[in-house]
Chain A
Amino acid sequence: MTGSALTRFALRNATFLIFAAVLLLFGLQTPGFLSPESLGNIVKQASFIGIAAVGITFVLLTRGIDLSVGSVMYLAPLLAGFAMRDLGVGVAGGVVTAVLAGLAMGALNAFFVVRLNIAPFIVTLSTLFFFRGAGTLLTSSRQFDFDREIVDFGLSKVAGVPMPIVVFALVALVAHVVLSRTTFGRQTYAVGADPEAARKAGIRVGWVQARVYMVSSAAAALAGFVLIAQIGRLDVAFGEGREFDVIAAAVLGGASLFGGIGTAIGTVVGATLIQTVKTGLVFTGVNLYLQPIALGGVIFLAVLIDSLRATRLRAARRRTIRPSSATP
């Protein structure tokens, strides 16, 4: 493998390399860290952010951004809660309600972004306040208590695997198949790589963009519901600020803010990696106040790698007017 091929490999698989390094680092320091229970706990705790991060990966792939996920995590389960309490739809009905509510919120984002052609950053920043505001209005800022049945569901296990991990795995699997094996998925990559070329190739760019926002919000709604099912109540600050954890997980997992790069599996690893670092710092007894700094450092590293990769891509796109020996 030549030097440049090695660099390319490293840039493309940075997430996995960092993940392996982090596991090794903590594993060597504390023997118990790599035990199945400990790792299972990490994945379980990662699933909440992870589910939403898999969804937002679709948006990032198209060069978009979705800041409203934290508020969707709050509002969608709240609506599900109302449906369960007032309409008696049960837990299954609650899940469906939450996801449908998420889809509707995503459709609202999509409408502003695609139809009215407003920058996604601005649209989702507005709906961040709008969705949370709607929730506070409905509850008058009071905590919402769910019935016991939702916690029974949340703490249940399928073949010995905790429910959040089951949902996380299912979402990741479906997203992976959609992204890699469906027309929608591949066109998502095409739109992110070059929207203009995508339009010229006959891709319905607007429709692709609309669907990614719906995917993102639906995933955020599901993530919110899964965590609520662990604790059985919803207070007004639930999910606040989580959009940044979600974006960080996706970017750490190799999704590029410049669009066109990222995978569902990468995002799963990214979300798990963040949780691993958090848990690992606690495990190894690092100063409590240093922990956010260390986490910030890891995220910075990922963004730096994204930027390096984007620079290389730009170089590959640059027009040359004479043959160059330095072609990739």
Chain B
Amino acid sequence: MSALVRFERLTKAFFGVPAVDDVTLDVEEGSVLGLIGENGAGKSTLVNMVGGVVAPSSGRMLWRDAPYAPRDAAAATERGIAFIHQELNLFLNLTVAENLFIDGFPKRFGLIDRHAIEARAAELMATLDLDLAPNALIEDLSPGERQLVEIAKALHREAELIVFDEPTTSLTPRETGRLFDVIERLRAQGKTIIYISHVLGDVARLCDSVAVLRDGKLIESGPTTTFDISRMIRAMIGRELSGLYPERSAGPTDATVLDVEGVSQPGVLEDVSLAVRRGEILGLFGLMGSGRSELARVLFGIDPAERGTISLDGRPLPTRPRERIRAGLAFVTENRREEGLMMEASIEDNLALVSIGRFGRAPLAFVDSEALTSESRDVAERVRLKAGDIHVQPAKALSGGNQQKVVIGKWLMRSPRAFILDEPTRGVDVGAKYEIYVLADQLAAEGGAVLFISSEIEELMGVCDRILVMSRGEIVGTFEAPPFDRPSILAAAFREAA
């Protein structure tokens, strides 16, 4: 066998920070390569370079031993590369056959030749051993069936390299089995496959070889037969904790503040129970797509839950976000720019956003701007905001770390009882991260309950009193009190026994 794709010393840096670092790797033609690593290990960046979505900073790629540098995604498609993502690129309002041919229909007398496209679609279905009607609307298909249509589309475009990125997350076990049968068939037809997944058991079962990335570097690679699951996990982790985290100033008490009992929502969450105590920082770890943020949204009342109760200080919380805010819940979203801040508005306006009602003065509820300004200044000081005049400076003019402090400060204006921090340190530099950990500690020490959601195991191990692990919308592990054992947390997140 020879390499279909070869990476030679491939590097991609974003703003000087390498996401993929000096990777040299062969992808054998006609084989299935499992690509694994933690979130942010560089898997997506690596395959995005193959897919023409990002260009390498240095190093090169070879396609059948000839230099390969796709201009854009279209050039990569042309060369024979297809992606099967979690988000599918199908048109729900068109049929299976139409989706295959949307960029170029065969014609008869100037009109689309429906017989031809449906026959071709049926033929492709047959090679995949599927029985989807070519004239079925995508809208009427299940997620698993839609994914199979994407695969048929890849075959129709005569793709030679098919990249699967977490393809099984929304599939039922039966659909997953069918997907694996299809992948076996593709390999039998000589297609080359890169399979990215957090489900290590699937990787072991499906792949011919495995490559492990960590911090952008290729740590290990080799035939699957030489990799057992514990070796995969060992290779994915490796960094040691250092003095990146502040000392905790106080410990948790016994009083439960935020109590979640048996929360379920079909397709998203299954029987989630947890309790955050007064003075506690409870960590919630999960890989991409594990349901972390979905849980946060349900807790805050943005998304519904079909079953379960959520209570604060022993009282069940009302349904809507507005009422939950009033009851004392605060939510720092993972998406600071779009959901956490009004980027064009001043820092003061941002700080005032959730508590503006408090500053209304009778009779016409005109805002008491003096009180507002003085309180905003206090809060800005409390969160150690580094900014100019908070009355005029817009939020967008702040660094990521300071923006996050504004979001936290916005909630402090209401003195909430419980905080949900969803990825509070994402896109924040190391120094500012430390300050956010200090803030989290401060919130807890002042008697708040903090639910700290993160995909970075280290920071949770560094700042939390307890850590829960989520996977596929369920709590799959609870780790009491530091020191935490990193491999077992990760193993839980990957749903493997350590």
Contacts and interface: CB of A to CB of B under 8 A. Distances in A.
24 contacts: A182-B110, A186-B94, A186-B102, A189-B91, A189-B93, A190-B91, A190-B102, A193-B91, A193-B93, A197-B90, A201-B102, A201-B103, A202-B77, A320-B169, A320-B267, A320-B268, A321-B169, A321-B290, A321-B291, A322-B291, A322-B474, A323-B172, A323-B267, A328-B141
B294 to A, nearest CB: 7
B142 A327 contact: yes
Contacts of A186: 94, 98, 102, 105, 112
A328 B139 CA distance: 8
A187 B93 CA distance: 11
A2 interface: no
B91 A322 contact: no
A313 interface: yes
A261 to B, nearest CB: 6
Given A177-B111, A183-B105, A316-B139, A322 B93 contact: no
A322 to B, nearest CB: 4
A115 interface: no
Interface of A: 177, 181-183, 186-187, 189-190, 192-194, 197-198, 200-203, 260-261, 313, 316-328
A323 B173 contact: yes
A321 B92 contact: no
Contact of B111 (A182, A190, A313): A182
B143 interface: yes
Interface string B124-140: 00000000000000011
A183 B112 contact: yes
B270 interface: yes
B302 to A, nearest CB: 13
B92 A324 contact: no
Chain A CB count within 10 A is highest, among B104, B171, B268, for B268
Closest 10 CB pairs of A and B: A324-B267, A320-B267, A323-B172, A202-B103, A181-B111, A327-B142, A197-B89, A193-B91, A322-B473, A320-B170
Contacts of A316: 92, 139
Contacts of B266: 324-326
B171 A323 contact: yes
Nearest to B89: A197
Contacts, number: 101
B94 A189 contact: yes
A190 B267 CA distance: 27
Nearest to A313: B92
Contacts of A201: 89, 102-103
B481 to A, nearest CB: 29
Nearest to A260: B93
B416 interface: no
Given A177-B111, A186-B112, A322 B267 contact: yes
A261 B267 contact: no
Interface string B51-86: 000000000000000000000011001000000001
Contact of B289 (A187, A318, A321): A321
Interface in B204-263: none
A326 B267 contact: yes
Interface of B: 73-74, 77, 86-87, 89-94, 98, 102-105, 107, 110-112, 114, 139-143, 169-173, 175, 266-268, 270, 289-291, 294, 472-474
B117 to A, nearest CB: 10
A326 B170 CA distance: 12
Nearest to B175: A323
A328 B142 contact: yes
Contacts of B173: 323
Give the most central of A189, A194, A322: most B CB within 10 Å.
A322
Nearest to A325: B266
Nearest to A178: B111
A222 to B, nearest CB: 22
A230 to B, nearest CB: 34
A62 to B, nearest CB: 12
Given A320-B267, A324-B268, 20 more contacts: A181-B112, A183-B105, A186-B94, A193-B93, A197-B91, A201-B103, A203-B102, A260-B92, A313-B92, A320-B268, A321-B290, A321-B473, A322-B473, A323-B175, A324-B266, A324-B267, A325-B266, A326-B267, A327-B142, A327-B143
A200 B150 CA distance: 13
A326 B140 CA distance: 13
Nearest to B172: A323
B138 to A, nearest CB: 9
Given A186-B112, A201-B102, A321-B472, A194 B91 contact: yes
Contacts of B291: 321-322
A328 B91 contact: no
A193 B141 CA distance: 16
B472 A322 contact: yes
Contacts of B294: 321
Contacts of B92: 193-194, 260, 313, 316-317
Contacts of B290: 321
A319 B86 contact: yes
B154 to A, nearest CB: 13
A188 to B, nearest CB: 10
Nearest to B111: A181
Contacts of A203: 102-103
Nearest to A200: B89
A203 B401 CA distance: 40
A325 B173 CA distance: 12
Nearest to B145: A327
B285 to A, nearest CB: 15
A177 B110 CA distance: 11
Contacts of A324: 266-268
A190 B94 contact: yes
